[in-house]
Amino acid sequence: MPHKFNADRRDKIPKQKHRVTNWSEYNEGLRQRGDLTVWISESALELWTAPRRTTPGGQPHYSDLAIELCLTLGMVFKQPLRQTQGLMRSIATLLGVEIAVPDFSTLSRRSNGLILRPNPRTDNRAAIQLLVDSTGLKIFGEGGWLEEKHKTKAKRKSWRQLHLGLDLVSGEIVCSNLTTDHIGDPTALPGLIDQIDGPVDLFLADGAYDGNPTSDFLAARFGSMIEVIIPPPKNAVFSPNVAQHPTSRDRHITEIESKGRIAWQKSSGYNQRSRGETLMGRWKTVIGSKLKARTFNSQKTEANIGVRVLNRMTELGRPNFERTA
């Protein structure tokens, strides 16, 4: 059936038009993403060698910061581990720095359970407007085109679920978590919230988070004054005490019934959830839609480094938009 079969009954929403008002600054930020000096600092080279351990066992040659730097370069420039080793070796030669470069097997082994350096927010006292969303990252299985082209037997594809929390004010990813594909969004929410060390005055998410467990958890963690914007389903019912103590969900249901869902999305600010879709599109464009690591702990390290890469690119420059139509 053609997708325009119900066009006469669809909501007609004209597409908005915007223009970027800071092209020069944004272009410079895009250029700096490929600048090696942005990703390699002098402090990292000074702390390249691991400190001597005081407990029994082998002495590591490279610090966690050195391993993190190599893995970050490989992710930014989309290089496998062997090519990452060659890239770092050439950089050390050009800089004239006498350092030993970890080989690909060391990078693979040390990425398992790697502890990343702390990276606090710019302003810990500012309240966060938190947008939470998730997407799937493939770790095994051929694409549909390969199966169709060569008539291969479809294998069971494996996925990991990537959960991200975006601050709508700063555009920074403030929390992240990588889980197996059978972990639902509400189940992974406490692990995300535990990573936030500041106040949150707005929580925005899709309908997968709808329910009392999510609202009760957020109220217990951030207080009852937190604004929770989650779309209720079409068959949503009011709470038992709606007459005496209406919840935010009850108010959302009332407004949807009186004004319609499209008007509620505009008045409540739920339309900002499109920034979560944009964030997932950025991840799959810049980082990729597939995890390269084989073990689960290494995959979590890969996801954490991907978060830092996107945050660093956000710091370099963000576009400012102005609506024209």
Output the 3-class SS for 194-239. Answer: CCCCCCEEEEECCHHHCCHHHHHHHHHHHCCCCEEECCCCCCCCCC
Distance, CA of 300 to CA of 309 (rounded, Å): 14
Categorise residue 185: left if φ over 0, alpha if ψ from -120 to 50, beta otherwise: alpha
Show Cβ contacts of residue 127 under 8 Å, excluding neighbours closer than 6 positions: 198, 199, 200, 201
- The pLDDT of residue 255 is above 80: yes
Query: What's the confidence (pLDDT) of residue 1?
Result: 44
89-98, 122-131, 302-311: least confident range: 122-131
> For tokens 């930020």, what's the residue?
29
Distance, CA of 250 to CA of 254 (rounded, Å): 6
- The pLDDT of residue 122 is above 90: no
Q: In the predicted model, what is the mean pLDDT of the chain?
A: 88
What residues does 131 pair with on adjacent strands? 166, 204
Q: pLDDT digits over 186-245, tens only? A: 999 999 999 998 899 999 999 999 988 999 999 999 988 899 999 999 998 998 888 888
CB-CB contact of 289 with 78 (8 Å): no
Categorise residue 138: left if φ over 0, alpha if ψ from -120 to 50, beta otherwise: beta
In the DSSP assignment, the letter for residue 122 is S
- DSSP helix/strand/coil, 19: strand
What are the structure tokens assigned to 325, written together?
Answer: 């139509």
Distance, CA of 267 to CA of 318 (rounded, Å): 26
- For the chain, the structural domain boundaries read 23-110, 128-291
Band of the pLDDT at 114, cuts 50, 70, 90? very high
87-96, 115-124, 145-154, 291-300: least confident range: 145-154
Task: Over range 82-103, report the average pLDDT.
Answer: 92
Residue at 246: amino acid letter: P
Band of the pLDDT at 150, cuts 50, 70, 90? low
Q: What are the φ/ψ torsions at residue 85 (nearest 5 degrees)?
A: -60, -45
Overall size of the chain counted in residues: 325
Report percent pLDDT > 70 for the chain.
90
CB-CB contact of 204 with 128 (8 Å): no
Task: Over range 248-253, report the average pLDDT.
Answer: 92
Distance, CA of 227 to CA of 212 (rounded, Å): 14
Task: Over range 26-34, report the average pLDDT.
Answer: 93
> Which of 164, 173, 162 lies closest to 128 in space, CA to CA?
173
Query: What's the confidence (pLDDT) of residue 54?
Result: 76
Task: Over range 126-136, report the average pLDDT.
Answer: 93
In the DSSP assignment, the letter for residue 159 is E
Q: pLDDT digits over 39-75, tens only? A: 988 777 888 888 887 777 777 889 999 999 999 999 9
Task: Over range 254-276, report the average pLDDT.
Answer: 92
Show Cβ contacts of residue 152 under 8 Å, excluding neighbours closer than 6 positions: 142, 146
Band of the pLDDT at 152, cuts 50, 70, 90? low
> Which of 194, 220, 192, 75 lies closest to 133 in space, CA to CA?
192
pTM (two decimals): 0.87
Band of the pLDDT at 96, cuts 50, 70, 90? confident
- The pLDDT of residue 87 is above 60: yes
What residues does 118 pair with on adjacent strands? none
- The pLDDT of residue 141 is above 60: no
Distance, CA of 303 to CA of 129 (rounded, Å): 22
